[in-house]
Structure 1
Amino acid sequence: MTPPSPAGTRRTRRRPHPLPRRRHSRAPWWLLSPAGLVMLTVTAAPIVFLIYTSFTDYNQRSLFTGAYRLVGTAQYAALLTDPQFWHALERSVLFTAAMVVGSIAVGTAVAQLLTRLATPMRTTVTLVLILAWAMPTVASSLVWKWLFQPGYGVVNWLLTRTHLFGDMTNTDWANDPFLAYLSIWLLIVWQAVPFIALTLYAALTQLPLELQEAARLDGAGEWRLWWSITLPFLRPTLLLVSLMSVIWDFNVFNQIWLVSAGGPDSATTTLGIFAYKTAFVGFRVGQGAALSVITTAILVAITALYIRNLLRSGEDL
């Protein structure tokens, strides 16, 4: 017990010592500033310049004289009334859908195969997939074009040896619209499968085995097991890789330009090829910039739709 205080004296309470104020250090900002400057230089500044150029009549004359005029939305109006733009947009949408469906289907099958392989074989297949994915698109596109060359192409020789389609030795794939699309489709799917397969395989390794065992005890077959358990579990990952595939495939340029250059007769001219021809072949740089802005707006809308659905699914959970 504390002794009673003497009469006439007051008990004073000690005030707690105030905590020292935190000083906001500027060191993190200084450390992040180099990366921020790089991002502004290589990302933000070109986008701003691209949008600005889309409102001008920048053309071949401007490249030499530097003179150009602001024309407002005239470039966009000209594009929206140009039948070639709508044909290129239609090709881009259909070709992107075909590439995404093919890539996801083959990638899912390869991912499922990896779960059933023994460790040595799975390691070998994984290394092969990584090497295929790491190959530069320009190098792989040139090699792919050589494989389908008329006269000495390996693919033409193999198809001729099988006698399934007759003599295809001198078949020029790039000069036939269907064959050009088929060769480019095979190339892009081959390049996209490794990333999709490895991503889906990583998701499959997190699938609880208890769910599969319970379904098998209930008499579910392999197909029913995959449809009712595996596919719902993979849905978020499938949506993610599908969105990334749409963005990548919608912007495909190297493969189409190096294999067919948008031909024959503009049959493989997608929005990317059309923008390149407009800006750097026809030297209508302003209109090419407007094309790029429209393409970016389409991809932003697709991404926004995906994020909205993702947030909704999170709220439902």
Structure 2
Amino acid sequence: MSMVHAKHRTVPSVPPDSSAPRKVRRGRRPSALPYALLVPALLVLALVVGYPLVRLGVISTQGYGLRALFTGRPESVGAANYQELWLNPALVSTLVRTLVFAGSLAAGTLLIGLAVAHLMAAVGPRMRTAVTLSLISAWAMPNVASTLVWQWLFQPTYGVVNWLLTAVGIGDYQQHSWFSDPNEAFAVIWLLVVWQAVPFVALTLYAGISQIPREYYEAAACDGANALQRLRVITFPCLRPILLLVGILSVIWDFNVFNQIWLLTGGGPGDATTTIGIWSFQRAFAAQDYGQGAAIAIASVLLLMTMTGYYVRRLIRAGEAL
């Protein structure tokens, strides 16, 4: 038998005929459906957010007091309300107090929420379910109702906290008023706001931690990294976008805290817990100067938009770096 070896010939490629007609592919026109689906949401935002902001800006340029409230004919004063706000000696102290208050609340919420999220990732399914149900129960409680419960807990005569501290022998806390001292009033409000905000942050961060591959931690443990090093090298970089997002939301929420402060202290003692929101309310409704209150509110909106824009830019850059 003889073996026949086939010879492979290289077939030269034939260049396309330039005279042949070519089919030109045209890009598909972008569909208008996504934009049409956004229209209802934009209309709702324009109605719920846009109109009140525009109306607030108009009132801030008017001398809107009790007389204008009854007659419906306010006097236009231009930028006089903003000039008065700028020259007000209480502006700097109130602004600093608000920034410190919001910053401490956001920092405490993120730290405690991150600790609870790590706890949920470390425990078993049953304990994780119990912690989740506890967080959701605290989160679902109405804001005003939880503030009134907190007020009862720290009530001087019949408060549970005073009774418990006295019973365990820490000190004599009978008839002790937590809201007469600025530091103690701030601490009680801080505890309340953080208690209400931790569930959202903890559940969000736990969802992010659960998406980090376990192999990363196993490899770090094999290299001798301790828990703090694994947190710094693995957890924080992977959770950076989520941390920035919940940080933005926490700053916005904490900057606008009103119910808790007003129901517990009313901005007191003195003005120790008076933030921008409380100050605007006091000027508008206690002093009956709605134009000045609107000017304070517009100034706080602009400040918050500036801060939020900075964090949004960082959030976008963190997302691009991943």
Asked whether the two chains share a fold, i.e. TM above 0.5, the reply is yes
Partner of 2:190: 185
Alignment-mate amino acid for residue 226 of structure 2: G
Partner of 1:4: none
Q: Does 1:127 align with 2:127?
A: no
Pairs aligned (count)? 301
User: Would the aligned equivalents of 1:96 and 1:249 in 2 still touch at CA under 8 Å?
Assistant: yes
Q: Distance in 1 between matches of 2:210 and 2:245?
A: 17
Report 1:238-253 matches (<5 A). Answer: 238-253=243-258
Structure 2, unaligned runs of 5 or more: 1-19
Report 1:74-223 matches (<5 A). Answer: 74-164=80-170, 166-223=171-228
User: Would the aligned equivalents of 2:241 and 2:318 in 1 still touch at CA under 8 Å?
Assistant: no
User: Would the aligned equivalents of 2:268 and 2:274 in 1 still touch at CA under 8 Å?
Assistant: yes
User: Would the aligned equivalents of 1:153 and 1:169 in 2 still touch at CA under 8 Å?
Assistant: no
| CA spacing shift, 1:183–1:36, aligned 2, 3 Å | same
Identity %: 50
Q: Distance in 2 between matches of 1:244 and 1:25?
A: 31
| CA spacing shift, 1:228–1:91, aligned 2, 3 Å | same
Alpha-carbon shift at residue 67 of structure 1 (Å): 2.1
Partner of 2:268: 263
Alignment-mate amino acid for residue 130 of structure 2: T
Alpha-carbon shift at residue 25 of structure 1 (Å): 8.4
User: Would the aligned equivalents of 2:62 and 2:76 in 1 still touch at CA under 8 Å?
Assistant: yes
Pairing partner for 1:284 from 283, 289, 292? 289
Q: Does 1:73 align with 2:117?
A: no
Q: Distance in 2 between matches of 1:90 and 1:310?
A: 25
Alignment-mate amino acid for residue 291 of structure 2: G
TM-score, normalised with respect to structure 1 = 0.88
Alpha-carbon shift at residue 313 of structure 1 (Å): 3.6
Partner of 2:15: none
**C-alpha distance after superposition, 1:24-71 (max 9, x if no partner):** 989984x76655443332221111111111111111111111121111
Q: Distance in 1 between matches of 2:320 and 2:205?
A: 24
User: Would the aligned equivalents of 2:66 and 2:288 in 1 still touch at CA under 8 Å?
Assistant: yes
Partner of 1:300: 305
Please state whether the residue corresponding to 1:115 is helix, strand or coil. Answer: helix
| CA spacing shift, 1:28–1:80, aligned 2, 3 Å | closer
Q: Does 1:42 align with 2:62?
A: no
Alpha-carbon shift at residue 250 of structure 1 (Å): 0.4
TM-score, normalised with respect to structure 2 = 0.87
